[in-house]
Amino acid sequence: MGSNPIRSTITVDCIDLVGAVFFMTRPVQGIIPPCGGHRPVGNRGRPGRLYPVDTALAIYFFRLIRIHKKFTIFCFLKKGFRIFIQNILIATVFCCCIFYWQLNTRGFFHPYGQQGVHMTIREELELREQEILSPWASLSKETRGRLKEEEPCDIRPAFQRDRDRILHSKSFRRLKDKTQVFLAPTGDHYRTRLTHTLEVSQNARTIAKALRLNEDLVEAISLGHDLGHTPFGHCGERALNRICPLGFEHNEQSLRIVDILERNGKGLNLCWEVRDGIFNHQMSGSPSTLEGQIVRFSDKIAYLHHDMDDAMRAGLLTEEEIPREISDVAGKTIGERLDFFIHDMIRNSQDKDVISMSEPAAKALQDMRTFMFRQVYSNPVAKAEESRAEQLVEVLYDYFFTHEDRLPDFYLHMIVDETSKMRAVCDYISAMSDHFAIAKYEELFVPKAWSVL
């Protein structure tokens, strides 16, 4: 260091700087940075607490002031001015870079960073989505919004809130008594529309998690995709579509339920992405988000596999009847095949902006669908009651269309003209469960026994 005051001052400054950098960048014990930085985001309950890294930053500020002070003194004395300025400039630029880096890792430049301890749980979760999820994921924070604006929840991000709304809806509960393939099954182990929905959701969440896409959005779409299904599955849908001049499609009805019919006409007011996924969940649809695409595939994968399982339970199929072109590619059992299609989809969609399957897998799935249509979906044994179910739906439609006063008040109040009457009758009948539709038919058309003793 010697006797040269300039050199010794610069040396002390450099030692200070190295020390400050060391303190600032060393690992902070006991703090798990939730967002990858040093900043303890969301430390509610511990407001104002100083962490080692905060102390280091304070020391650093102090040293910057010292440097500035010395700079002023040397300018005044004009001793060794040129070399001093050079060194100070280099040190200051270096310090500024470190300072910027520290602020950045502490989230200071992040949209939520400056809110510090005031960050809500929802904001923390949104921030986590932003840091963890794939660049192609739909972020809750960036939703295109709801039909009606509303205050965000302080705990749940938008898609999680939508998932909960669907789960708590009446239409969701009614799915437990709606047909999947076998009409009003009495066996405990047959799928219903509710268990189908849950299996779609489980497959879709597995895929979304593996691809780092938004699991909440996928779950919301999955739980809502079949809300609009009629009693007696697709045959009820066919009957309503045939008899109602306005037509009837279950995906359109699912959207109508979440937008208008639920909560006594207020609707669930879901996010655009959830509504888009629900409306486009059929293979003919084209969802705008990757999460919607996942549900569209998961629906198909789920129904083909669990319907095959139910068909085997019902004695319509055996494992040995599964064509070789399917089992050779996808596996020998239902479990193996399900695993194969999900793995294939994940492998083929990683780091891509589209959800897809490999060619052999897509062909095997298509072969499976063709096989299921031939063996199960158009099987005369499984479909024996379908024509009666269709007839029942048509009779109920005719009855309520000509006796609208027998509709519940909620549907009756929707009627203002002929078109709205058709829609209201469709809304009422499509909302019925299998058992309710049968009970209503019996109430209206089956003579009751004389009960006076």
Shortest Cβ 197–Mg ion spacing (Å): 7
Q: Which is nearer to Mg ion, 215 or 299 (CB)?
A: 299
**Pick 307 or 390: Cβ nearer Mg ion:** 307
Q: How far is the CB of 225 from Mg ion (least distance, A)?
A: 6
Distance of closest approach, residue 275 Cβ to Mg ion, in angstroms: 16
Please calculate the CA angle 361-362-367 and round it to the nearest 5 degrees: 95
**Which range binds Mg ion by CB under 5 A, 244-252, 265-273, 296-304, 324-332?**
296-304
Q: Is 299 in the site for Mg ion (CB under 5 A)?
A: yes
Q: How many whole angstroms separate alpha carbon 154 and alpha carbon 51?
A: 26
If the CB atoms of residues 123 and 310 are measured against Mg ion, the closer one turns out to be: 310
Show the binding pattern over residues 69-88: x = contacts Mg ion (CB under 5 A), - = does not: --------------------
Q: How far is the CB of 355 from Mg ion (least distance, A)?
A: 17
* CB atoms closer than 10 angstroms to residue 169: 20
Contact call for residue 226 and Mg ion (CB under 5 A): yes
**Least distance to Mg ion, CB of residue 129, Å:** 26
Residues in contact with Mg ion, counted by CB under 5 A, come to a total of 2
Q: Which is nearer to Mg ion, 207 or 424 (CB)?
A: 207
Q: Is 273 in the site for Mg ion (CB under 5 A)?
A: no
CB of 356 to Mg ion, least distance (A): 20
- Which is closer to Mg ion, CB of 140 or CB of 280? 280
**Looking at beta carbons only, is 162 or 226 nearer to Mg ion?**
226
Give me the least distance between CB of 451 and Mg ion, in Å please.
42
Single-letter code of the amino acid located at 221: I
How many Cβ atoms are within 10 Å of 393's Cβ, its own excluded? 27
Nearest to 298 by CA among 192, 352, 223: 223
With respect to Mg ion, which residue has the nearer C-beta, 105 or 289? 289
Q: Min. distance of Cβ 101 from Mg ion in angstroms?
A: 50
Stretch that binds Mg ion, among 23-31, 131-139, 177-185, 218-226 (CB under 5 A): 218-226
- Shorter beta-carbon distance to Mg ion: residue 128 or 234: 234
- The stretch among 98-106, 115-123, 294-302, 429-437 that binds Mg ion (CB under 5 A) is 294-302
Residue 146's DSSP bridge partners are 271
Under the rule (CB under 5 A), what is the footprint of Mg ion? 226, 299
